[in-house]
C-alpha cells in the first residue's frame, strides 16, 4: 500500500470509530427525546381525561341532589317539576331532566311533553343506576353527527334522575385545554365512537373507531402511546391515550409525528451535520497531510528511478527543512557527484577511444612510410642522394615509433607506480643544442625556423638526462606539430632563483584559455584552433589539418608533467590563441654534488 493510502487508513481508523460512537450517542439522545415527547403526550391525554371527568362530575351534581330527595318528595311530581325546572334553568345546554322509578316509568319530566328516551338507553341507564353505577350514555338517535349525552344518578329505591345534555356542550371544557401546536383532541364514548374532535371535519363526529385497533393499547393499561395514520384525515400522528375514569370514555391527544419530533429531529440533524463536517474536515486534513508527505516521497522515488534508468540529471525536491527534504538534498548531492563522475567516465571513455585510434594511427603511419621507402630502396639504379634521403626518413619514422613505444611504457610505469628516474647532473645548454639538432630534420620538413638562442654560462641542472630529453623533445615536437608551416620556434635556457629554466617558444596556434586547466590531463588532445589572419594567407584550416602532422595520442604533456614533478621540477605554459605558446621547464640547480633532496639526505646522513 502507498504511503498516502497508509496515512489515510490511519486517519480513517481513528475517525471512523469516533464517528460510530458519536452516531450511537446521537441515536441514544434521539431515542430519549422521542420518549420525552411521547410521555408529554400521554400526560396531555391524561389532563384532557381529567378535564372531561370533572365536567361530567359537575353535571352530576344537581342530579345527585335530586336523587337524594326523600321518598315522598321523589313521588310528588308537581313539586319535582319545580325542582327539575330550577336545576335545568341555569344550564343552557341541558335538553331535559327526568325522574324515573325502578320500573322505568317516568315520574316527572321537564320540560313537560319532551321526547322520550330512545329504547335501550333508558334501560341501560336504569340498569347501571340500579347497580349503583353513575354512568354516561351517548344517544346517537338524533341523526348524522349529532348526539346527546345522557347521565343517570341512581335513587335509593332503584330509580334514577336522568339528564340529557347536548353533545355540543363538550366544546366548552375540552377547548379550554392548552395543547401543543397542531394537537388533536378526540373524545370517544364507550362504543368508541367519536363524540368530540378538536379539528374539522364535523363529519368525523360519530365515526366508529372500534375496528381500527387504535385503542387496543388502552385495553391493557389506563394510558398508552401509539403511532397511527388517521383514517379520517390520513395524517400520521403520535397519540397519547387515556381513559376517563369509570365513564367508559377515552381521550386521545394526537400530534403529527413530524411536528412532535421536530425539535428532537432538528437537534439530531444539527449534531449529525456537525459530526459530518468534523469527519470531512478531518479527512481533508488527513488527505492534505498525506499528500504533503507522499508527494515528496513520490518525487524522490521518481527521481531515484529516473537516476537508476540512467537519467543522471534527475533531481529530487529538496526545499524545506523536513526529513524528506533533507533526504532529497542528500540524494541530490550524491546524484551531483555521480553525474560528475559519470561525465568524467564518459570523457575518459571518449579519450580512451581516441587514444586507441591515435595509437593505431601513430603505429601504422610510420610503418607504412618505412615499408614504402624500403621497397623504393630495393629498386635498382636509385641515386645516392635519394637513397640517403629515404634512409634518413626511415630513421626519423623509427625514432617516432620508439618515442611512442617509450611513452606507452612510461605511461604503464607511471600508472603502476614503478616509474623510476635518476637524479644526475645535466648540462642544460648542451641538451638544448642536442635536441635542436635532432629535431631539425622534422622542423625543416615543415619549413620551420628552429633554433636555440645563446644562453651563456649556466649552472648544471638536477635531472634524469634521458627522461628530461624526452620531455623537452616532446615539447619541441608539439611546437613543430601545432605551428603552421614556416613558423618560428626558439629554445632558450636561463638560471633563475635556484632553478634552471628551459623555454620553448613558438608562434603557432596557441591553446584556448578554457583548455588550460586540462592541458596536462591524460589523453587530452585539443581541438585545432582557427588560423589567425596572418596565418590564413599561408594555409587554410582544411589544408592545415590535412597537411600538417597533427597526429598524437595526448600523452606527451601528461607524462612530461609527471616526469618533471618526479625530478623536483615543473612545467609552465603561457599561450594565446593565434599568437603562439611558451612552454617552460623548471629544474632544480645541481648543487654541492647532488640534487637538493639528495643533498638534504646526504646532510642528514652526515
Residue 440 in contact with residue 526, Cβ under 8 Å?
no
- Which DSSP category does 548 fall into? S
Q: Rule CB under 6 A: say whether 410 interacts with ligand ADP.
A: no
Q: Which of 397, 506, 535, 588 binds ligand ADP (CB under 6 A)?
A: 506
For 314, the grid coordinates are 534527475
Nearer to ligand ADP (CB atom), residue 104 or residue 526:
526
Nearer to ligand ADP (CB atom), residue 510 or residue 568:
510
Q: Rule CB under 6 A: say whether 557 interacts with ligand ADP.
A: yes
Q: Which of 158, 317, 465, 554 binds ligand ADP (CB under 6 A)?
A: 554
CB atoms within 10 A of CB 171: 12
Q: Which range, of 364-372, 385-393, 478-486, 491-499, touches ligand ADP by CB under 6 A?
A: 478-486
Q: For the CB of residue 557, give the shortest distance to ligand ADP in the complex, in Å.
A: 3
Q: Rule CB under 6 A: say whether 525 interacts with ligand ADP.
A: yes
Q: Which of 254, 508, 569, 588 binds ligand ADP (CB under 6 A)?
A: 508
26 Cβ neighbours under 8 A, 6+ residues apart:
268, 271, 272, 275
Q: For the CB of residue 368, give the shortest distance to ligand ADP in the complex, in Å.
A: 19
Q: For the CB of residue 448, give the shortest distance to ligand ADP in the complex, in Å.
A: 12
Nearer to ligand ADP (CB atom), residue 37 or residue 553:
553
For 464, the grid coordinates are 634524469
- Dump the DSSP string for 42-108: HHHHHHHHHHHHHHHHHHHHHHHHHHTS-HHHHH-HHHHHHHHHHHHTT-TTEEEEEEE-TTS-EEE
Nearer to ligand ADP (CB atom), residue 141 or residue 582:
582
Q: Rule CB under 6 A: say whether 169 interacts with ligand ADP.
A: no
For 179, the grid coordinates are 395543547
Nearer to ligand ADP (CB atom), residue 8 or residue 411:
411
**Closest Cα partner for 484 from 438, 400, 542, 441?**
542
Cα 454 versus chain centre, distance: 80
Max distance between CA atoms of the chain, in angstroms, equals 196
Q: Which range, of 305-313, 377-385, 396-404, 524-532, touches ligand ADP by CB under 6 A?
A: 524-532
Q: Rule CB under 6 A: say whether 553 interacts with ligand ADP.
A: yes
Q: For the CB of residue 404, give the shortest distance to ligand ADP in the complex, in Å.
A: 9
Cα(251)–Cα(195) distance, rounded to whole angstroms?
A: 10
Q: Which range, of 131-139, 235-243, 456-464, 476-484, touches ligand ADP by CB under 6 A?
A: 476-484
Q: For the CB of residue 547, give the shortest distance to ligand ADP in the complex, in Å.
A: 16
143 Cβ neighbours under 8 A, 6+ residues apart:
none
Q: Rule CB under 6 A: say whether 532 interacts with ligand ADP.
A: no
Give the CA radius of gyration of the chain.
66
Q: For the CB of residue 517, give the shortest distance to ligand ADP in the complex, in Å.
A: 13
Q: Which range, of 208-216, 326-334, 430-438, 551-559, touches ligand ADP by CB under 6 A?
A: 551-559
Q: Which of residues 441-470 bind ligand ADP (CB under 6 A)?
A: none
Cα(270)–Cα(29) distance, rounded to whole angstroms?
A: 13
Beta strands in 230-310 (DSSP E): 236-244, 249-256
Nearer to ligand ADP (CB atom), residue 240 or residue 508:
508
Cα angle 451, 456, 458; round to 5:
110
Cα(550)–Cα(539) distance, rounded to whole angstroms?
A: 15
Q: For the CB of residue 542, give the shortest distance to ligand ADP in the complex, in Å.
A: 18
123 Cβ neighbours under 8 A, 6+ residues apart:
104
Nearer to ligand ADP (CB atom), residue 104 or residue 554:
554
The residue count for the chain: 606
Q: Rule CB under 6 A: say whether 524 interacts with ligand ADP.
A: yes
Q: Which residue is listed with cell 329505591?
A: 157
Q: Which range, of 174-182, 329-337, 340-348, 518-526, touches ligand ADP by CB under 6 A?
A: 518-526
**CA atoms within 13 A of residue 74's CA, in its CB half-sphere:** 23
Q: Which of residues 558-587 bind ligand ADP (CB under 6 A)?
A: 558, 581
Q: Are strands 499-506 and 580-588 parallel, antiparallel or unpaired?
A: antiparallel
For 387, the grid coordinates are 637513397
Region of residue 53 (left: phi > 0; alpha: psi -120 to 50; beta: else):
alpha
Q: Which of 38, 474, 503, 507 binds ligand ADP (CB under 6 A)?
A: 474
Backbone angles phi, psi at 172, to 5 degrees: -60, -60
Nearer to ligand ADP (CB atom), residue 508 or residue 588:
508
Size of the site for ligand ADP (CB under 6 A): 21
Strand partners, 162: 98, 152
Q: Rule CB under 6 A: say whether 314 interacts with ligand ADP.
A: no
Q: For the CB of residue 482, give the shortest distance to ligand ADP in the complex, in Å.
A: 3
Backbone angles phi, psi at 518, to 5 degrees: -110, 10
Q: For the CB of residue 556, give the shortest distance to ligand ADP in the complex, in Å.
A: 3
Q: For the CB of residue 545, give the shortest distance to ligand ADP in the complex, in Å.
A: 12
Q: Which range, of 162-170, 172-180, 348-356, 523-531, touches ligand ADP by CB under 6 A?
A: 523-531
For 509, the grid coordinates are 596556434
Cα(228)–Cα(254) distance, rounded to whole angstroms?
A: 9
Sheet with 580-588, edge to edge strand ranges = 449-452, 488-496, 499-506, 580-588, 570-576
Q: Rule CB under 6 A: say whether 552 interacts with ligand ADP.
A: yes
Q: Which of 38, 186, 250, 478 binds ligand ADP (CB under 6 A)?
A: 478
Q: Which of residues 424-443 bind ligand ADP (CB under 6 A)?
A: none
Q: Which of 159, 429, 484, 556 binds ligand ADP (CB under 6 A)?
A: 556
Q: Which of 479, 493, 531, 563 binds ligand ADP (CB under 6 A)?
A: 479
Torsion, CA 185, CA 241, CA 35, CA 39, rounded to 10: 80
Q: Which of 56, 161, 204, 555 binds ligand ADP (CB under 6 A)?
A: 555
Q: Rule CB under 6 A: say whether 363 interacts with ligand ADP.
A: no
- Contact footprint for ligand ADP (CB under 6 A): 474, 478-479, 482, 506, 508-511, 519, 524-526, 552-558, 581
Amino acid at each position: 500500500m502507498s504511503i498516502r493510502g497508509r496515512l489515510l487508513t490511519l486517519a480513517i481508523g481513528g475517525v471512523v470509530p469516533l464517528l460510530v460512537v458519536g452516531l450511537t450517542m446521537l441515536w441514544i439522545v434521539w431515542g430519549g427525546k422521542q420518549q420525552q415527547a411521547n410521555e408529554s403526550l400521554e400526560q396531555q391525554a391524561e389532563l384532557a381525561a381529567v378535564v372531561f371527568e370533572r365536567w361530567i362530575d359537575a353535571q352530576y351534581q344537581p342530579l345527585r341532589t335530586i336523587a337524594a330527595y326523600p321518598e315522598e318528595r321523589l313521588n310528588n311530581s308537581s313539586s319535582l317539576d319545580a325542582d327539575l325546572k330550577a336545576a335545568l334553568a341555569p344550564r343552557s345546554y341541558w335538553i331535559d331532566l327526568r325522574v324515573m322509578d325502578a320500573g322505568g316509568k317516568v315520574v316527572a319530566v321537564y320540560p313537560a311533553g319532551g321526547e322520550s328516551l330512545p329504547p335501550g338507553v333508558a334501560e341501560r341507564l336504569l340498569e347501571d343506576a340500579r347497580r349503583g353505577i353513575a354512568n354516561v350514555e351517548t344517544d346517537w338517535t338524533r341523526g348524522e353527527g349529532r348526539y346527546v349525552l345522557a347521565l343517570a344518578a341512581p335513587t335509593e329505591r332503584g330509580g334514577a334522575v336522568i339528564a340529557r345534555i347536548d353533545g355540543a356542550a363538550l366544546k366548552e371544557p375540552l377547548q379550554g385545554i392548552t395543547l401543543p401546536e397542531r394537537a388533536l383532541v378526540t373524545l370517544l364514548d364507550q362504543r368508541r365512537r367519536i363524540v368530540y374532535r378538536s379539528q374539522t371535519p364535523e363529519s368525523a363526529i360519530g365515526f366508529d373507531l372500534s375496528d381500527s385497533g387504535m385503542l387496543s393499547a388502552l385495553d391493557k393499561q389506563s394510558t398508552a402511546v401509539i403511532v397511527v395514520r388517521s383514517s379520517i384525515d390520513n395524517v400520521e400522528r403520535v397519540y397519547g391515550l387515556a381513559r376517563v375514569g369509570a365513564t367508559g370514555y377515552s381521550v386521545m391527544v394526537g400530534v403529527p409525528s413530524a411536528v412532535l419530533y421536530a425539535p428532537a429531529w432538528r437537534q439530531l440533524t444539527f449534531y449529525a451535520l456537525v459530526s459530518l463536517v468534523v469527519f470531512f474536515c478531518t479527512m481533508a486534513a488527513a488527505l492534505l497531510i498525506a499528500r504533503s508527505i507522499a508527494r515528496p516521497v513520490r518525487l524522490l522515488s521518481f527521481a531515484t528511478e529516473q537516476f537508476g534508468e540512467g537519467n543522471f540529471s534527475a533531481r529530487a525536491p529538496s526545499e524545506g527543512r523536513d526529513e524528506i527534504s533533507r533526504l532529497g538534498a542528500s540524494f541530490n548531492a550524491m546524484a551531483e557527484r555521480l553525474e560528475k563522475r559519470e561525465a568524467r567516465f564518459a570523457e575518459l571513455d571518449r579519450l580512451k577511444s581516441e587514444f586507441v585510434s591515435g595509437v593505431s594511427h601513430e603505429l601504422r603511419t610510420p610503418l607504412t612510410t618505412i615499408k614504402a621507402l624500403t621497397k623504393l630502396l630495393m629498386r635498382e639504379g636509385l641515386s645516392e642522394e635519394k637513397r640517403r634521403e629515404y634512409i634518413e626518413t626511415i630513421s626519423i619514422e623509427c625514432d617516432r615509433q620508439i618515442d611512442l613505444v617509450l611513452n606507452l611504457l612510461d605511461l604503464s610505469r607511471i600508472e603502476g607506480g614503478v616509474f623510476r628516474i635518476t637524479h644526475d647532473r645535466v648540462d642544460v645548454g648542451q641538451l638544448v643544442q642536442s635536441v635542436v639538432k635532432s629535431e631539425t630534420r622534422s622542423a625543416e620538413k615543415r619549413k620551420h625556423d628552429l633554433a636555440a638562442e645563446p644562453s651563456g654560462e649556466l649552472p648544471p641542472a638536477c635531472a634524469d638526462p634521458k627522461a628530461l630529453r624526452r620531455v623537452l623533445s616532446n615539447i619541441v615536437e608539439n611546437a613543430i606539430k601545432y605551428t603552421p608551416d614556416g613558423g618560428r620556434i626558439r629554445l632558450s635556457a636561463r638560471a633563475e632563483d635556484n632553478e634552471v629554466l628551459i623555454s620553448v617558444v613558438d608562434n603557432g596556434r596557441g591553446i584556448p584559455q578554457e583548455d588550460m586547466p586540462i592541458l596536462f590531463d591524460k589523453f587530452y588532445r585539443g581541438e585545432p584552433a582557427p588560423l589567425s589572419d596572418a596565418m590564413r594567407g599561408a594555409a587554410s584550416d582544411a589544408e592545415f589539418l590535412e597537411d600538417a602532422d597533427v597526429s598524437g595520442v595526448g600523452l606527451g604533456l601528461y607524462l612530461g608533467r609527471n616526469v618533471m614533478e618526479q625530478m623536483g621540477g615543473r612545467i609552465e605554459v603561457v599561450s594565446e590563441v593565434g599568437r603562439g605558446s611558451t612552454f617552460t621547464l623548471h629544474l632544480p640547480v645541481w648543487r654541492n654534488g647532488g640534487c637538493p633532496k639528495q643533498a638534504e639526505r646526504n646532510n642528514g646522513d652526515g
